[in-house]
Structure 1
Amino acid sequence: MPTPDSSPSLPRQRHWLLALSLLLIACNLRPVFGSLSVVLPEIMRDTGLSAAGASLLTTLPIVCLGLFSAPTPWLSRRFGAERVLLLALLLIAAGTLMRATGGLAWLFASSVLAGAGIAMGNVLLPSLVKRHFAQQAALMTGMYIFAICIGATTAMAATVPLSVNWFDGSWAHALAFWAAPALLVLMLWAPQALRMHSERIDPAARAGSLWRDALAWQVTAFMGLQSSLAYIVIGWLAPILRERGLDSAMAGYVVAISTLAQLVCSLIVPSIAARCRDQRALAVGQTALGLVALLGLILLPLSTVWIWAVLLGCAQGGLFALALSLIAMRSGNAQVTAQLSAMAQGWGYILAACGPLLTGLLHQWTGSFTSSIWLVLLLSAALAWSGWGAGRNLLVQPAVRPA
């Protein structure tokens, strides 16, 4: 297994360039979501989009994360993981640029394109880390989760100021601006992706199925449920805070601070998880902290929002880092990691889409975001249950197909 120090196929300097490139790619996996949420009220005002339509707009890319995760391992085997990751960057950049039109049809189409690209990146990054950085898997996992959080935080904090100060109040051009980082990374990644040879896949490693493995489904549920709560925060926390009385810029800053707080936990949780005998207590403890913090943001005085935002970020950053770590920890090799990653992120993100969709629908039906409390409680309880199962110190066992 290649490592930065001993790979027979890549010199040391190219390994560090590979590491930097993967981290920069990770930075582009969340701006599509975070940038939209902070200007969602303006989009609804200018386009006439209903609360149900806004719920669909925020949910559609998450559904795409699930739908396009499934074929990614096959594409990786057919064309090579590095080349498929290049395609993912192209889709993210193209989908983000389409938002510049400001039309509703283009906004929905951009969500499909960008969501497809993000799905591919989500599946491929863990397997590439396990393949090229096996001896530093915990560190690299923490680093690329750190990079994901940086991208999300920057988009949430900067989209409204970009709209006001650079684009004369145009939310459409502010949203499209986030294609620029993807295009820059594309230029760095293309020469490497086209030069690399596809990894030979052991036929036995891909012969099995995880569909009948209970542990694989528990990892999938944990990934999906923590993502569901995370996308409620990404998609709806800013509108919730604005409904409670914060202005658009301040609501964006609160969400950005919450995302920024994820950075610390995203760096340390993979290492903590790797040192633990199992990860059950870690999963349940972080779930409880996230529930308390989210309820604080919805119910308690606005003077305390900064405290709850930081605590929520710590909890959700840790949960996301643990979910991705469990994909690698519960699988025995890079091929099974890619298989489990596709399953966990494919079905997981379809499950995750229910959270923001139901949040928007509940708001439309009741006229208030307070009704989402029951949804948050239900999702948190299910998350704790699945985390207790996924945190057991076991490996998934792909079922061997009969000859």
Structure 2
Amino acid sequence: MHKNQRIFLILLTAMNLRLSVTAITPLFTAIQKTLNVDSTITALLVTIPLLCFSIGAVITPWLNQRFGLRPLLIFTNGLLILANILRPINVAFLLVGTLLIGIAISLLNVLVPVMISQTTHETSEITKLTSYYSVIMNILAAIATATAIPLANLFGWANVLRGFAIPVLLTFIASLLLTPFPKSAAVENPQKLLKTLLHDKAAQKLTIFMGLQSLIFYSLISWLPAIYQSLGATSSEAGMLLSIFQFVGIPAAIALNYLTDTKKLFIILATGYSLGMITIFWHGIGWWLSAIILGFTAALIFSVALNLIATSSTQVTKIANRSALAQSLGYLLAATGPVILGRLHDSFHSWSVVLIMLIILMGLTILAGVRVVNHQK
């Protein structure tokens, strides 16, 4: 009974891990017009959460030790509800609300692998749970991204932002009613993160892998529309291509259950990155193929990263610390991606340099993932 409750709560939590961050991007134009802000401010609505993911993840093991999972889940979901409701009021609330959203999600990002590890110790079940929670996360984010503009036309962008609180409310209620994680489930005597960084080889490799794949994902989310437009796509086509990029993450997360051969898995990932970057230059149908292939690959490699963290040890302490380190430093690295690649474009006045850099980063990501797998054997 407790196991089913834990699984249910994990899947509910997954609904809120990306929704409030990525689904807001289609509303940037409406937000700029209504609140009279420029693109720098709206860009912060993605950058701030990434920085929070980095900073907030560091304190999660200590908070987990001090308060336990259930109180943290109640607090973070309550914080998410409040932030989503308040942030459309004005610019100040928009930025502060985004900061609170980033902090809350950063805690949940680290707690979910711990929740999974406390639900089951079977590697196959851990993989399934990781896959299912990735599917739920991608479904909500993709649907919200695709429907944000139509819903904003009907109800206004502010009410759409407030609507992001609805799935959080469901999770909040479940956190209050269900008690699947007892206080004793809190992490005991966690290692210092600095010590983990310096001496835990597995944590070091996981951090590099997590950071590189996140950097690629958020760079693609930020700049794919502009890249497609530079190649001849209209703005509406570019927007649809970005929606496709996110939607194909749904079957990618499910595919993890059937890709049990690690060697073949990384061959698929390397092939996906390669084909995605090649087809992007193929006018018309190639853009759609690239969005599908890159979206599938980016979602699959994210699920792989989460699964490698969750299966890196049988000790909750190690998993919590490795998860915190991988996500704190990993998202800090990811936050630099959109900015650095944007500056590259401004310096060379061409997206070709950016695409070359992405190809190099993709190669490094595959190598980093293979090193993680070899270390865990």
- Given the superposition, is the C-alpha separation of residues 200 and 194 from structure 1 closer, same or farther in structure 2, using an over 3 Å criterion? closer
Give the Å deviation of 1:137.
1.2
Conserved 8 A contact 1:51-1:364: no
- Given the superposition, is the C-alpha separation of residues 202 and 100 from structure 1 closer, same or farther in structure 2, using an over 3 Å criterion? closer
**Residue number in structure 1 paired with 2:55:** 67
2:204 to 217, 220, 226: 217
Amino acid at match of 2:159: H
Give the Å deviation of 1:220.
0.5
Long gaps (5+) in structure 2? none
TM-score (norm: length of structure 2): 0.88
Structure-to-structure mapping, 1:1-400, within 5 angstroms: 12=1, 14-44=2-32, 46-47=34-35, 49-101=37-89, 103-135=90-122, 136-164=125-153, 166-167=154-155, 170-193=156-179, 196-199=182-185, 201-203=187-189, 206=191, 209-211=195-197, 212-241=199-228, 244-248=232-236, 250-269=237-256, 272=259, 275-276=260-261, 279=262, 282-283=265-266, 285-294=268-277, 296-297=279-280, 299-363=281-345, 369-394=351-376
Conserved 8 A contact 2:209-2:368: yes
Give the Å deviation of 1:178.
1.0
Q: Distance in 2 between matches of 1:282 and 1:226?
A: 15
Amino acid at match of 2:276: A
Q: Secondary structure at the match of 1:28?
A: coil
Give the Å deviation of 1:148.
1.2
Long gaps (5+) in structure 1? 1-11, 396-403
Q: Distance in 2 between matches of 1:271 and 1:338?
A: 26
Q: Distance in 2 between matches of 1:386 and 1:185?
A: 35
Q: Distance in 2 between matches of 1:55 and 1:371?
A: 22
Give the Å deviation of 1:185.
2.0
- Given the superposition, is the C-alpha separation of residues 54 and 132 from structure 1 closer, same or farther in structure 2, using an over 3 Å criterion? same
Runs of at least 4 residues off by over 6 Å: none
Q: Distance in 2 between matches of 1:79 and 1:320?
A: 29
Give the Å deviation of 1:198.
3.4
Amino acid at match of 1:143: Y
Conserved 8 A contact 2:3-2:180: no
How many residues get paired?
372
Conserved 8 A contact 1:123-1:342: yes
Give the Å deviation of 1:156.
1.0
Q: Distance in 1 between matches of 2:186 and 2:94?
A: 39
**Residue number in structure 2 paired with 1:6:** none
Q: Distance in 2 between matches of 1:320 and 1:213?
A: 22
Q: Secondary structure at the match of 1:39?
A: helix
- Given the superposition, is the C-alpha separation of residues 202 and 183 from structure 1 closer, same or farther in structure 2, using an over 3 Å criterion? closer
Q: Distance in 2 between matches of 1:220 and 1:375?
A: 20
Conserved 8 A contact 1:283-1:322: no
CA deviation profile, 1:374-403 (whole Å, cap 9, x unmatched): 3312322321231221121427xxxxxxxx
Identity %: 26
Q: Secondary structure at the match of 1:29?
A: coil
Conserved 8 A contact 2:10-2:112: yes
Conserved 8 A contact 1:287-1:319: no
Q: Secondary structure at the match of 2:248?
A: helix
TM-score (norm: length of structure 1): 0.83
Please, which moves more after superposition, 206-215 or 81-90?
A: 206-215
- Given the superposition, is the C-alpha separation of residues 367 and 41 from structure 1 closer, same or farther in structure 2, using an over 3 Å criterion? farther
Give the Å deviation of 1:322.
0.7
Q: Distance in 2 between matches of 1:214 and 1:251?
A: 41
Q: Distance in 2 between matches of 1:259 and 1:339?
A: 29
CA deviation profile, 1:299-328 (whole Å, cap 9, x unmatched): 431333222222112211210011011112
Amino acid at match of 1:338: A
- Given the superposition, is the C-alpha separation of residues 54 and 261 from structure 1 closer, same or farther in structure 2, using an over 3 Å criterion? same
